[in-house]
Structure 1
Amino acid sequence: MATADLLLHPVRMRILQALFDADPLTTAQLRERIPDIAPATMYRQIAVLAEAGVLEVAEERRVRGTTERSYRVRKEEAVVDPAARTAMTREDHLRAYTTFAASLMGDFDRYLAHEHADPHADGVVYRQAAVWLTEEEFAVMIEEIERAVVSRVGNARDGRIRRVISLVAVPDKPKPDVDAEPGD
């Protein structure tokens, strides 16, 4: 599993998003999907992800005297290790979340930049709701959401539109410290 620093880098995050639940893509195909990333940056960040084991080479073929590689995400490696997540400081979490939120903003901005973008017709949804749950109820809800999304990953592409689902769950305030003395 990877670290937050590895996965939440803005360019690497966009590369991973382009490859999630997609057929393997070459660097040239990734550049077509993400044209605003400079070629040298794209190659460098793909190399970082491949060296870390987050990307794997799905196919190699010779093209005009060079080797062209198609990459795919190793989903089990594209997750921040629970121990690494636990070891993150508040500043680490703020930096990681800021990168994640900026990535969402960038995705939405790129979508809106398309001439025929129509958020209503395209089913764009962004909502926020407050729910009151015990720790157990919260765990069940997250499991249900993940199951609903994961069960649809890999659906045949015939007539379907690829949509990116992002989830953020933040408590309104931290849990009280159960070990604290009254008045602390």
Structure 2
Amino acid sequence: MRGGAAALALALALPGSACDYATRRASLASTCPAGWNRQVSHDSIVELCTPPGFNAGASSLAGAYTWKRPAAGAGDSDWVAVAIVADSTRHETWPPPLESPADCRTDCYTVDSAAVHTDTAGLVAVRLETGLVSGGNEGARRAARLAGGWITPHRTRILVVGAAELGMTLDTLRTALRTLRVRAP
């Protein structure tokens, strides 16, 4: 991925549900791990459960819904962002990989210790890639990241990216993303 943070992915598109909003809220709340918090975007399009300390935050990823946990020290914070991608031509493959394409000229990422996961959100299989990235416009050095996504039945592309101060926290972010619900066209 170019020009931004590279990271994890997972998600679920809910087609126009017959359930009302209160029913969906109760359903999500009951799926949150003990001690975790239910988070809902300001426009109710994105819902997920997060571990303690995560709050809605800003992101450099255009059109993204982001939740962050502040860093304890000078390191990178833990965060996850969900984006509904309008421009399907922006990425050669879907979901986009962590590593930049071979023809990348500037702000490119290299990845080591990469792993591809097939996770599930609801009934949707989602491809996620985790790894340690170096480079990019932020000059990352073996930074724990994840990226992934899927295409809804209506051909809408959902992208999920995330970062963690510690590599083992990527599994925690994957757990959070398994609770993700996106109401997209």
- More helix per residue: 1
For the superposition of Structure 1 and Structure 2, which TM-score range results when normalised by the shorter chain? under 0.3
TM-score computed with the length of structure 2 as normaliser: 0.26
- More strand per residue: 2
Higher RCO, Cα 8 Å, sep 6+: 2
TM-score computed with the length of structure 1 as normaliser: 0.26
